[in-house]
Amino acid sequence: SQQGEEDPQALSIQEGENATMNCSYKTSINNLQWYRQNSGRGLVHLILIRSNEREKHSGRLRVTLDTSKKSSSLLITASRAADTASYFCATSRGDSWGKLQFGAGTQVVVTP
């Protein structure tokens, strides 16, 4: 069954706007990661947040983690057309070392 579940399923914004997507999961985790996938390609790692962290930044990306609510959010600020992609959250559990469980992703379209 699906561990991570992204919301919304799809998001359409204009260049310069911020994009926010959320991920909810079911069981306790060691860390949560976000990946980007361009159409028909493999996934690229964006950012990792550990279970004892609440917020992390990387360039235009901001990730939050609320373990009490079992949820995370990814914010992309000042979006660009090149940010058009699907974004997946993935969780790592203590009893499944090294194996990630992915959600179905949020499809983001950024129009010029």
Partner 1 sequence: EADIYQTPRYLVIGTGKKITLECSQTMGHDKMYWYQQDPGMELHLIHYSYGVNSTEKGDLSSESTVSRIRTEHFPLTLESARPSHTSQYLCASSNRGGQGEKLFFGSGTQLSVL
List of residues contacting partner 1 (CB under 8 A): 2, 4, 30-31, 33, 35, 40-45, 48, 50-51, 88, 90, 92, 97-105, 107
Of 52 and 112, which CB lies nearer to partner 1 in the complex structure? 52
- Specify the pairing of strand 10-14 against strand 106-111: parallel
Nearest approach, Cβ of residue 37 and partner 1 (Å): 8
Q: Minimum distance from CB of 104 to partner 1 (Å)?
A: 4
Give the number of other CB atoms < 10 A from CB of residue 80.
12
Of the pair 4, 83, the CB lying nearest partner 1 is at 4
The 8-class DSSP code of residue 9 comes to S
State in angstroms the smallest separation of the CB of 16 from partner 1: 27
Bridge partners, residue 69, by sequence: none
Choose between 82 and 97: whose C-beta lies nearer to partner 1.
97
HSE at residue 32, side-chain half, CA atoms within 13 A, is: 31
Name the DSSP class of 78.
Answer: S
Query: Which CB sits closer to partner 1, 41 or 80?
Result: 41
Chain centroid to Cα 27, Å, comes to 17
